[in-house]
Every structure is written in structure tokens, then in C-alpha cells.
Amino acid sequence: MRAWAVVETGQPLQEIELPTPEPKGAEVLLEVTHAGVCHSDLHIWEGEYDLGSRGKMRLTDRGVKLPLAMGHEIVGRVVKLGPEAEGQGSKVGDIRVVYPWVGCGKCAICQRDEENMCPSGRSLGVYQNGGYATHVLATHVKHLIDIEGLDPSLAATYACSGVTVYSAVNKLMPLEPDEPVVLVGAGGLGLNAIAILKAIGHRRICVVDVAEDKLAAAKQQGATDTVLASDEGTAQRIVEACGGPVAGVVDLVNGTQTARFAFEALRKGGKLVQVGLFGGEMTLPLPLMPIRALTVQGSYVGNVKELRALVDIAKQGKIPAIPIENQPQRNADAVLQRLRAGKITGRVVLVAG
């Protein structure tokens, strides 16, 4: 198969030939038709996360091997089923979104279909080849989800940005529909989060970003309030926009500065859900945690059950589309550079051919 792969961290992606995998057991081989380019691909490509005063966490030390075809927002056409995958809902020719956050497949967590929490993660596009290639191997037929009636470019984004925000937003629920939910970051994740909140009936959505044009896109998508983030006074402006301290914030950036203002904007009993991988660190005033009964919770992608639920909501026509731009697969590197420069609103999806 052809792949547009990371051969060296931080260096341009290279078009290379890799062996086409042969599906064994319940595995399924698909021809990639669509692959979203996600912000987290930048971290994988750069090969490290910033852990603040603890330094950097290198992905190669965590088992990421090069060359690697990144890409974890994958839609493909089934071309070959492993012997145990027959008769389990997918056949040759079917178009499917592929659940990428797979684990060992054997432990109790994986058996419960909560593989994103497996201690031995083998995610597609991170620990094994993903969608920046002509073919991809799904590790189990149960990870394929029918997307009939949906735009495949949009459906691809549900596998990461969609399920990530769906799972994060669920961690704030239940809330009254008019209780403000604050979203920090109006990139692809933020726009998806607005769409999903509206789809589940939430009415008050406040979006925070450093860029006016991104806030305009958020308004377009249905944000009721927007706040321009800056060095000073952001928490106060959030509180003013929301009519008081807030019950829930989803921080889709999750850097030192955003974590600080997100935390400061919480009301008693409030919850900050941290999703982004921007990096840095946060200092918590410990007595405030019990006194104000606060929660700071991390949220990592979502499980296959959540992805199925999200695809169902989308099939009911409840999720408005986010802005999507299709680009040929061979432009993978150029797209990554644009994303790095912050020049993409919504999502770019690589398409085959």
C-alpha cells in the first residue's frame, strides 16, 4: 500500500510503500476513502508533548514506531475480512467509519468496549498505521460502523473530534439546557462540540478563543455567546458573558493559560473537563477543591459505544455539518503545515484518488 508517512519526527511526510496488511482473526482490511487531519496529528508528527516543568514526553519512548501513517479519522471501503469477521455486520464493498482507539482487545476493559481506557493502547494512526494511506487494517470487525446516508468526510471526523467532544460533553451532563456550557477553543473540536450540544438539546453555549475569525465561525455554528481570550481578565469576561460563574467548561485547548481561566470561571460544584493536548501545567489552590466542591477531569477520545451513539444522532439529522474541505491524500504534508500555522477553520479531510 501507499502511505504518506512520518519517517522522521518533525520532517515532511513522505510517500512510501508499505506492506498491505493481511486480515487475520476478526480483523478487516479497508481501502481508505477519507481521512481527517486532526490537530493531535501535529503532536504525533512532532513526536512529543509538553509536560510543563516535567519537560517533554517523547512518543517514541511510549512505543510509537516510525515510519508511521498517521490518521485516526478514517472512512473506508471493506476489501477483505479475516476468517472470524465474516457475518458480523460488514461485508466487502461496505463503507464504514473505523473506530481507531483500540486497546489490547483481551482485557476486561476492552471486553466492555471501553478500549480507549485500555492500558495497552494500540490506536490506529498512533501505534499502528492509520488513514494517511491507501489501506488500513481495522483490528476487529466490531470497530466498523455503518454511516449510510452521511457525508463520509463528515462521518470520518466523528471518529476523533466528534467522539472526543461527545464523550467530554457527556461528562458535564445532566445540566439544564439553559445553564451555560463554556467551550474553550473554536477549531474543529469546538465547532463539533457546538453541533453536538445543540443536537442533545442544549441551548446556552459560550465559546472562548484567541481569534476573532474562529469566534465568528462559532457564532455561525450556533454559539450563543463568545469571549475573546487574552492575557488578562478572560475568566472575568466568561463570567460576565454567562451571567455568573459556570457549571461546566470543556477545555479543548488545555494549555497553561486556558486551564487557569477555565478553572477560575467555575462556580461551586463546577467541573472542568480537559481535552486538548496543547500542554503546560496547572497549579490548583487545594483548599478550593473541597470548599467549592470542584472537579477537574481529563477526557480521552471516547469509546466505540459512544461513537455508535454519535453516528445514530447524526443519522437523525441532528448534527449540523462543520466546515469541511477535501484535499487529495498526496497533499497530506501541505495540509499538516497549514494546520500547524493555525490556518484551518473546521476540518480538512484527505480523500483517495
Binding site for Zn ion (CB under 5 A): 38, 40, 103-104, 107, 110, 118, 160
Beta bridge partners of 183: 207, 250
The burial class, CB within 10 Å (0-12 / 13-18 / 19+), for 248 is buried
CB of 54 to Zn ion, least distance (A): 23
- How many Å is the maximal CA-CA distance in the chain? 60
| Total residues found in the chain within this entry | 353
Closer residue to Zn ion, CB minimum distance, 38 or 85? 38
Closer residue to Zn ion, CB minimum distance, 104 or 211? 104
CB of 124 to Zn ion, least distance (A): 11
Closer residue to Zn ion, CB minimum distance, 103 or 255? 103
- Per-residue b/e over 141-153, b at no fewer than 16 CB within 10 Å? bbbbbbbeebebb
CB of 110 to Zn ion, least distance (A): 3
CB of 9 to Zn ion, least distance (A): 18
- Cell 487557569 -> residue: 260
**Minimal CA–CA distance to 187: which of 339, 7, 71?**
339
C-alpha cell at 4: 504518506
Closer residue to Zn ion, CB minimum distance, 47 or 270? 47
Residue 325 is classified by DSSP as E
Residue 3 near residue 133 (C-beta atoms within 8 A): yes
Closer residue to Zn ion, CB minimum distance, 116 or 258? 116
Closer residue to Zn ion, CB minimum distance, 162 or 270? 162
Residue 29 is classified by DSSP as E
CB of 267 to Zn ion, least distance (A): 30
Residue 207 near residue 250 (C-beta atoms within 8 A): no
C-alpha cell at 70: 498517521
**CA 306 to CA 173: how far, in whole Å?**
14
CB of 228 to Zn ion, least distance (A): 26
**CA 62 to CA 65: how far, in whole Å?**
9
Closer residue to Zn ion, CB minimum distance, 103 or 131? 103
CB of 125 to Zn ion, least distance (A): 8
